[in-house]
Amino acid sequence: MDELMISIAENTFPIAVAVFLLIRMEKRLDDLTSAIVRLEGAINGISPLNGERT
């Protein structure tokens, strides 16, 4: 039982930091995904032969 308590005490902080960073990065990943989708649309709207919009 003591080993379990020691293990929990040693691993609580790294787990909390990892969860905090994952939650914080979620919005940035969503923003990056939408930017990539917009970029794809912009690239598809340009003609590959002369650089003009189609």
The reply to whether 10 falls in a domain is no
Range of the domain at 53: 18-54
Q: Are 12 and 4 in contact (CB under 8 A)?
A: no
For residue 37, give the amino acid letter. V
The reply to whether 7 falls in a domain is no
The reply to whether 8 falls in a domain is no
Q: Are 53 and 46 in contact (CB under 8 A)?
A: yes
The reply to whether 3 falls in a domain is no
Q: Count the domains in the chain.
A: 1
pLDDT digits (tens, 9 = 90+) for 1-54: 889 888 888 899 999 999 999 999 998 999 999 999 999 988 888 756 555 555
Please report the pLDDT score of residue 50 as a whole number: 57
CA dihedral (37, 43, 44, 46) positive or negative: positive
Mean of the per-residue pLDDT values of the chain: 85
The reply to whether 24 falls in a domain is yes
| pTM for this entry | 0.51
The reply to whether 4 falls in a domain is no
